Amino acid sequence: MYAMKKSLIYLAVAACLAGCTNNKDKEEAENAKALAAATHEELVQAIQERDQLLDVMNDIINTTNDIKSAEGIVAINATGGEGGPSQAQVKSDLEAIKATLAERQKRLQELEASVKNSKSNNSKLLATIESLKTQIANQTAEIEQLQSQLATANQTIANLGAQVDTLTTNVQQVTGERDQAMAEATRQEDLANACYFAIGSKKELKEHNIIEGGGFLRKSKILPSDFDKSFFTQADKRTLTSIPLHSTKAKIITNAQHKDSYVIEDENGQKVLKITNPAQFWATSNYVVIQID
C-alpha cells in the first residue's frame, strides 16, 4: 500500500515537471517570436532612415550644382553681361533654392529625431546627419551671399544707369548747344556772304527808288537811303559766278564794283554778267545795280 502511494506521488511530480517544462518552452517561443518581430521592425525602420538619408544626400549634391550654376549667373549679372537670365529670374531662383534648403534642413531634423528615438540609436547615422546639416547651413550661407552680391550688382547697375542717363542728358544738352552754335555760325557766315543784285530799266529802277534825280548835266543818285530792298535778289558770294541779264544792253551803274573784277558778255544774243574776281567784286559793297536799257 505504501509502495503504491509513493508511485502515485512520483507520477504527480513528473506530470507537474512536464507541465512546467512545456509552459516554459512555450513562453520562450513566444519571446523569441516577439524578439524577431521587434528586430524586423527595427530593421525596416533603419532601412527607411537610411533611404531617407540617401535621398537628402542626393538632393544636397544637386543643390551644390545649382549653387555653382547660380554663382556663374550672378557673376554675369554683376558685370552687366548679356545672354543669361534676367536679374529678376536669378533673384527668384535664389529664393527658391533657399526655401528648398530650409525644407531639407527640416527633413534632417525630423530624421535625426527619429533615429534618436529608435532602439538602434545608430551613432554613425547621427554623425552623417550632423554633417549634412552643416553642409546645408553652409549652402544657405552661400545663397545668402549670392543674394547679397546680386543686390549689390543691382544697385551698381542702377547707379550706372543713373550715370548713363545723366551723361546722356549732358551729351544731348552739349549736342544741342553745339548744333545751335553751328547753326548760328552758319547763319552768320551766310549773312557775311550774302549779296544782292537788282536788274531793271532806268524807269523800273526809279520806280523802286533805287536811283533818283538825273537829268540835263545832273548825275543820278544811286541807292539813296530809302531804296526798295525788296527789288533786289539775294545770292551767295561764294557760289554766284554769273547773272543772266535777259537783255541786249546792260551796264553796272553802281561804282563799288571794280571794273577788273567782272565782264559782261554776249551769250545767244543776251547779255550775261560774269564775276571773275568775287573778292574784289564785293569788296566795297554787297549791292550791285544793273541797268538794262
**Which H or E run includes 211?**
strand 211-215
Of 13-22, 176-185, 228-237, least confident by mean pLDDT is 13-22
Side chain identity at 208, as an amino acid letter? Answer: H
pLDDT greater at residue 197 or residue 143: 197
- Name the DSSP class of 210: S
Q: Do strands 287-291 and 194-200 pair parallel, antiparallel, or not at all (unpaired)?
A: parallel
Question: What pLDDT, on the 0 to 100 scale, is given for residue 88?
Answer: 78
Q: Rounded distance, CA 267 to CA 248, Å?
A: 10
Question: What pLDDT, on the 0 to 100 scale, is given for residue 270?
Answer: 96
Question: What pLDDT, on the 0 to 100 scale, is given for residue 64?
Answer: 64
Return the top range by mean pLDDT from 77-91, 166-180, 263-277: 263-277
145 pLDDT more than 60: yes
pLDDT greater at residue 56 or residue 111: 111
How many other CB atoms sit within 10 Å of the CB of residue 125?
Answer: 20
Q: What is the mean pLDDT of the chain?
A: 79
pTM of the predicted model as reported, rounded to 2 decimal places: 0.47
Question: What pLDDT, on the 0 to 100 scale, is given for residue 81?
Answer: 55
Question: What pLDDT, on the 0 to 100 scale, is given for residue 17?
Answer: 45
Of 61-65, 112-116, 137-141, 259-263, least confident by mean pLDDT is 61-65
pLDDT greater at residue 239 or residue 37: 239
pLDDT greater at residue 229 or residue 21: 229
Three cell numbers at 132? Answer: 549634412
Q: What is the pLDDT of residues 184-223, one digit of tens each?
A: 999 999 999 999 999 999 999 999 999 987 655 557 789 8
Question: What pLDDT, on the 0 to 100 scale, is given for residue 91?
Answer: 79
269 pLDDT more than 50: yes
Three cell numbers at 231? Answer: 527789288
Q: For the chain, what percent of residues have pLDDT higher than 70?
A: 67
- For residue 255, give the nearest of 205, 217, 219 by alpha carbon: 219
Of 158-167, 213-222, 247-256, least confident by mean pLDDT is 213-222
| Residue 207: strand, helix, or coil | helix
CA distances from 117 to 52, 114, 138 (A): 16, 5, 27
Structure confidence at residue 13 as a pLDDT band (50, 70, 90): very low
Q: What is the pLDDT of residues 65-122, one digit of tens each?
A: 666 666 566 665 555 555 556 677 877 888 888 888 888 888 888 888 887 777 665 7
22 pLDDT more than 90: no
Q: Rounded distance, CA 13 to CA 86, Å?
A: 93
- For 84-179, strand residue ranges (E) read none
Of 27-36, 100-109, 128-137, least confident by mean pLDDT is 27-36
Burial of 290 (0-12, 13-18, 19+ CB in 10 A): buried
Question: What pLDDT, on the 0 to 100 scale, is given for residue 30?
Answer: 58
Three cell numbers at 287? Answer: 549791292
Instruction: For residues 53-64, give the mean pLDDT.
Output: 68
